[in-house]
Structure 1
Amino acid sequence: MILPPPEQLFFVCGPTAAGKSARALELAAELDGEIVNADAFQLYRGVEVLTAAPPQEDLGKAPHHLYGVLSPAEPVDAMAWLRMVLPVIDELLSRGKTPVITGGSGLYLKFLSHGPSPLPPGDPVLREELEALSLTELVSRLQAVDPVEAARTDLNNRRYVSRALEVCILAGVPCSSLRDDWEQASAARESKLRGELVLRDRPALHERIAKRTRAMLKGGAIEEVAALTDAAPGLEKAIGLGEIRRHLAGEIDLVECEELINAATRQYAKRQETWFRREKWLKSE
């Protein structure tokens, strides 16, 4: 999998309701670009109000890609999104356009900006075999196959030791070499990355969240959820889906539904802000 040159991309990141979509439109105009979705929930069609997807008015101001491209039942993760987005970016670059990548799904953005982790996924059979070993045996085996990783691993933490050993076995090379090679490649890409972090002060962001939630509930989100017959595990995590279902079932009234959505959205925004602030290459708008 070949990632596009980092200097040819532009990222617009930030917490939900901060104004990323509006900023992306401005940048698309400035950079002769087109907007590419990096929000896990906005990949789904039929839930545009629930997921705060760009309205038709904004979609007409600049070309938008990967919005509403999946049925609600289709599963997706960061790697699946990366496979979807790379051909889109290649096509944009072939036309001389700047891909303006915008969204709040941190891991999705990280896979494109720095590349996915090279560590292999866990293997249930091997993991069961390792579970049968004592911590002392695990440490001994890790020190034998990868002394570098063993030296920087908390050897009292069984989960860390077991995972490092699992990676060595599955990859056939030391875990430390995989990590070091990836970190070097990521650092090289990061030095060329371009992007903005859209932030609001806490009271302003909370006000925007409350306004959006109210508009969402009045604008069709309840009807979207009522019509939703099957949802992929990822979509099930969309804020508002569970709360609206509870309202439709008569468990909570609309006022409590709105309050719960607001609270969950504020908590999510805080986690997003913490994630993106760690990305020092992003410039605050």
Structure 2
Amino acid sequence: MLNDAILIAGPTASGKSALALRLALEVGGAIINADSMQVYDMLRVLSARPGADDLGRVPHHLYGHVSPSVAYSTGAWLDDVSRLLDTDVLKDRRPIFVGGTGLYFRALLDGIAPTPPVPEPVRIRWRKRLADEGPEALHSLLSERDAVAAAAIGSTDGQRITRALEVHDATGKALSAWQNETTEPLLSREDCTCIVLEPERSFVVDRIERRFDSMVADGALEEVAALLALDLAASLPAMKAIGVPELAAYLRSECTLEQAVTRAKTATRRYSKRQATWFRHQLDDRWLRLPMGRHTNSAEDLIALIKNNLK
């Protein structure tokens, strides 16, 4: 179990990656991705992965290592982290986990309910049923098989509904029953430095606007075109990454580029707001909350605050 890790959470476009890089240079750190979209190898631009210059300055791990054809999960990420910790790549390096996926941080600190792998034929069968019957019909079926899981999952959340049905089908055991068991945490909460960025709303909105324009200029359309060429199921997480459905609609001549960009920016703002709400209510008082904005802490101030609070 690691005892000196640094965790940096925050909403999209809050400057997490840049802060993690500066901190890693100060403390001799290695950066580990904790963002569920930055794991996909074909989403370099749209997921705002660190660029080649940053990757060359500090070791980065678990970025762009997953095919978009894979429905990557929190459990899969935790397994990848565990394997990483079993190697020597972090020797003499302080691990810095950075990202916006709250469930990844929760899994690191609290463990996760283990669920067995689902055979591909079972997965394909339920994905087909989702496409044919729709999420509401499968949610009704889930209510009969696993009422506890159904109560916790929205009736339109096709991915989580089919996941629960797949697990029940493959194991004969309800997902809610599996979730009553948890693995041993990889990190000791008491011995980690946990930080959550709380940027001013106007600060984030402005960064979202400018960042998505840069994404389009840097090849986001080409990235989505290459992704569409794979003819993947629309239900896969990579196909639902913000910017993919919106730019795909433009590439199919269903809207103008201006409309697609506007919709993607709106989706990003909404996602950022949901993230901020989750972090505000789900992370306890052991997390150091750092305000950010035009008139708050500078990058130097943030680094000094973090270094003063390192465990």
TM-score by length of 1: 0.74
Tell me what 2:289 maps to: 284
Tell me what 1:141 maps to: none
Q: Distance in 2 between matches of 1:131 and 1:265?
A: 35
CA pair 95-246 structure 1, distance change in 2 beyond 3 A = same
CA pair 241-19 structure 1, distance change in 2 beyond 3 A = same
State the SS of the aligned residue for 1:252: coil
Q: Distance in 2 between matches of 1:51 and 1:91?
A: 27
Q: Distance in 1 between matches of 2:249 and 2:142?
A: 42
Tell me what 1:245 maps to: 248
1:93 shift after superposition: 7.3
Q: Distance in 2 between matches of 1:129 and 1:45?
A: 33
Q: Distance in 2 between matches of 1:21 and 1:121?
A: 32
Rg larger in structure: 1
Q: Identity rate of aligned residues, in percent? A: 35
Q: Tell me if the contact between 2:4 and 2:191 (Cα under 8 Å) persists in the aligned partners.
A: no
State the SS of the aligned residue for 2:82: helix
Tell me what 1:267 maps to: 270
1:20 shift after superposition: 0.5
State the SS of the aligned residue for 1:270: helix
1:198 aligns with 2:202: no
Q: Which amino acid aligns with 1:205?
A: V
State the Cα RMSD in Å: 3.5
1:113 shift after superposition: 2.1
1:111 aligns with 2:107: yes
Candidates 57, 68, 81, aligned match of 1:61: 57
CA deviations on 1:138-167 (whole Å, 9 max, x unpaired) are: 9xxxxxxxxxxxxxx9xxx9948xx9xx9x
Q: Distance in 2 between matches of 1:244 and 1:12?
A: 30
Unaligned runs of 5+ in 2: 119-125, 127-139, 153-163, 291-311
Q: Distance in 2 between matches of 1:284 and 1:255?
A: 36
State the SS of the aligned residue for 2:64: coil
Q: Tell me if the contact between 1:16 and 1:104 (Cα under 8 Å) persists in the aligned partners.
A: yes
Detail structure 1 runs of 4+ shifted over 2 Å in the superposition. Answer: 89-94, 117-122, 127-133, 157-160, 188-193, 229-232
Candidates 67, 70, 80, aligned match of 1:84: 80
1:19 shift after superposition: 0.3
Q: Tell me if the contact between 1:240 and 1:261 (Cα under 8 Å) persists in the aligned partners.
A: yes
CA pair 44-120 structure 1, distance change in 2 beyond 3 A = closer
State the SS of the aligned residue for 2:83: helix
1:128 shift after superposition: 7.2
1:72 shift after superposition: 2.1
Q: Tell me if the contact between 1:92 and 1:98 (Cα under 8 Å) persists in the aligned partners.
A: no
Q: Tell me if the contact between 1:120 and 1:170 (Cα under 8 Å) persists in the aligned partners.
A: no
Q: What is the total number of aligned residue pairs between the two structures?
A: 245
Tell me what 1:258 maps to: 261
1:45 shift after superposition: 1.4
1:182 shift after superposition: 5.7
Q: Distance in 2 between matches of 1:100 and 1:24?
A: 7
1:64 shift after superposition: 0.7
Q: Which amino acid aligns with 1:247?
A: Y
Tell me what 1:145 maps to: none
CA deviations on 1:15-67 (whole Å, 9 max, x unpaired) are: 00000001111221232110011111111112211111111121122111111
Tell me what 1:212 maps to: 211
Q: Tell me if the contact between 2:78 and 2:107 (Cα under 8 Å) persists in the aligned partners.
A: yes
CA pair 92-271 structure 1, distance change in 2 beyond 3 A = farther
Tell me what 1:49 maps to: 45
CA pair 132-68 structure 1, distance change in 2 beyond 3 A = closer
Q: Which amino acid aligns with 1:261?
A: A
1:238 shift after superposition: 0.4
